[in-house]
Structure 1
Amino acid sequence: MKETLQAYATIIISTCICILIALASAQGGLISGSFPVLFLCISVTFIIQWLVFIPSYYWSTERFYDLTGSLTFIIVALIAFYNKNQFLGNEFDFRSIAITVFILIWALRLGSYLFLRILKDREDRRFKEWKTSFPLFLRTWTMQGMWVFLTSVSGITAICSRNIIEPGAYFYIGCALWIFGFLFESISDYQKRKFKVQNPDSFISSGLWSLSRHPNYFGEIVLWLGTTIIAFPVLQGYQYFSLISPIFVFWLLTKVSGIPILERHADKTWGDQEDYKKYKESTPVLVPKFFE
């Protein structure tokens, strides 16, 4: 009973947090009819999660969870970009183009990677206990809506901004960080996938994984920081609340669903092995040791 109440409380609180951030970030933004475009984006984000939750709960499957999240990023970015183009007419805003393209590339890459992984593994251990419980599984899907919205809100707010500024230092620094982070995450995932094919029961400690125990998460944090830096110059007033994006990504990956879960699993699986103990002692958990 307590767990059920906590699940529903989490659903309500997480949804309300996103609504408040949307209310603030929509100030001075684009309007579609009489509806702020950012409100349209947050509505679509959560509606998609809740709709796909229904058949997923019915069949007790998490197979479409990651794919749905990635597709939601794409849909929301395209909604914002379409409305920006309607606002600009024949003009171009390179900032909006860059942010949209970056979100599409990242979501397509991550979505395909995670979807193929779940098809291969057939089950995601994260969902073993949740997918048979209505409130716990609904909480999981709602939290994905929160993840999509808060992760992308700085970029989406910039796309929805009426403030048009030519690319400058922030733009180029942000693009460089995004490219670096994207490559770091992509290469890390590729190295791990290739390693697991030949060593399914071992932990990886080569390549970028020799620099960090979670180099893919480091790359993801950096790329969303880059997106936020690109967005920063056009933000104004309450829109600065959208700067929560990289903070949220860092918190989520280091305190909630990323590193803590994987570290516990690794300790349970290889914790008594000397080579793993040495690897853990000598390798940073997140920020790579680029220099000895």
Structure 2
Amino acid sequence: MINSGYVSEATKVLMTTLLADFGIQLAGFSVSALLQTEKFYDLLGSTAFIVCTYVSLFKPWNDQDQYNAAGHYTALHPRQILASSTTVIWALYLGSFLFNRALRHGDKRFDRIKTRPRRFFFYWHVQGVWVALTALPVYLTNSIPGEAHPPIGLRDILGFVLWGGGFAFEIIANYQKQCWRKEIGRDYKRSFISTGLWSLSRHPNYFGECILWFGSYLFSSGAFSAVLSNNPEQTILSPWMTRLAVLSPVFVTVLITRVSGIPLLERENDRRLKDVVAYWKYKKQTSMFVPTWPHPVAE
């Protein structure tokens, strides 16, 4: 049986975080629909991650949450600092990267949507769901009092290594593609990148993205077994919350590999490069997602 006081507190943290998330999406949609622009979409998505992380960690609606019964400040646990800082670092990087790209090249996803308010609103709503589910383990670990967290262990270390490796993979892949596109110039529409990490995977940036969220789930979930100080038989988080958190890395991977990431790019590349023989050879010998050494294809 779960202590109802702690369950309601964790639920309060989660609900307030979600309100902040969808409030940002609604504000972003209102301005963007009025201006008929998509340029703020990714920027506000990343901003929502940062705001939601702050809300879940510091609980600004109730300052008393930061103090114990004696009135002393309750220190954050290193796991909470790790989970929150990695999320903010990733959001700052991705937000600036995508915003700069949108300013330079626009976003073809919204060419026919930004002038249709209902469909445009749906896309902003989907972004809210993305923010909510992707960093859900982080929000939940922040909802647990710092003094109740179990010590940092092997799971946390493994999770941080995965996060660091995935983040590095994403940054390097994006940097390599930026350099390639700058070098190729106007020939972009008849060319494709196949060097560096892109020789091991057709979408190495997306692979890194999925890996880092698996890592984030691992070190965030290290706190899910936290129990009440006055009753070691009772866990702080309810079972449904900890099970829901598993959706985070699964959701990100399915979204990227089956819905809005890789499928859209694959269709676009197939259309754009349909007459380029070298592209089809590259596609046959290079893994779509998980990096592997290229497999030679017979001529």
For the criterion TM > 0.5, the same-fold answer is: yes
After superposition, give the CA deviation of every residue in 1:145-199 in whole Å (9 maximum; x if it has no partner): 0011110101111111244111001100000000000000011111101110111
User: CA–CA distance in 1 between the matches of 2:195 and 2:118?
Assistant: 40
Deviation at 1:267?
A: 0.2
Q: Which of 73, 82, 86 does residue 58 from structure 2 map onto?
A: 82
Deviation at 1:232?
A: 1.7
Residues 45 and 149 of structure 1 are in contact (CA less than 8 Å); yes or no, is this contact kept in structure 2? yes
Match in the other structure for 2:84 = 100
Identify the structure with the greater helix proportion: 1
Match in the other structure for 2:284 = 281
Aligned CA distance change for structure 1 residues 87 and 127 (closer, same or farther; 3 Å): farther
User: CA–CA distance in 2 between the matches of 1:27 and 1:206?
Assistant: 55
Tell whether 2:18 aligns with 1:39: no
Match in the other structure for 1:195 = 180
Residues 29 and 161 of structure 1 are in contact (CA less than 8 Å); yes or no, is this contact kept in structure 2? no
Secondary structure of the residue aligned to 2:246 is helix
Residues 228 and 243 of structure 1 are in contact (CA less than 8 Å); yes or no, is this contact kept in structure 2? yes
Residues 286 and 293 of structure 2 are in contact (CA less than 8 Å); yes or no, is this contact kept in structure 1? no
Match in the other structure for 2:135 = 152
Deviation at 1:291?
A: 8.5
* Greater Cα radius of gyration, structure 1 or 2: 2
Q: Which of 217, 235, 238 does residue 206 from structure 2 map onto?
A: 217
Q: Which of 257, 272, 275 does residue 272 from structure 1 map onto?
A: 275
CA RMSD of aligned residues (A): 2.0
User: CA–CA distance in 1 between the matches of 2:94 and 2:117?
Assistant: 27
Residues 49 and 88 of structure 2 are in contact (CA less than 8 Å); yes or no, is this contact kept in structure 1? yes
Deviation at 1:78?
A: 1.1
Deviation at 1:82?
A: 1.2
Q: Which runs of 5+ in 1 are unaligned?
A: 1-25
Residues 29 and 157 of structure 1 are in contact (CA less than 8 Å); yes or no, is this contact kept in structure 2? no
After superposition, give the CA deviation of every residue in 1:21-48 in whole Å (9 maximum; x if it has no partner): xxxxx9945739xx71111000110111
Q: TM-score, normalised by structure 1?
A: 0.86
Residues 36 and 114 of structure 2 are in contact (CA less than 8 Å); yes or no, is this contact kept in structure 1? yes
Letter in 2 for 1:106: W
User: CA–CA distance in 1 between the matches of 2:84 and 2:260?
Assistant: 26
Q: TM-score, normalised by structure 2?
A: 0.84
Q: Which runs of 5+ in 2 are unaligned?
A: 225-236
The 5 A counterparts of 1:5-154 are 28=6, 31=9, 36-83=12-59, 86=66, 89-121=73-105, 123-154=106-137
User: CA–CA distance in 1 between the matches of 2:5 and 2:263?
Assistant: 36
Match in the other structure for 1:3 = none
The 5 A counterparts of 1:226-241 are 226-235=215-224, 236=237, 237-240=239-242, 241=244
Secondary structure of the residue aligned to 1:95 is helix
Tell whether 2:251 aligns with 1:248: yes
User: CA–CA distance in 2 between the matches of 1:291 and 1:281?
Assistant: 9
Letter in 2 for 1:159: N
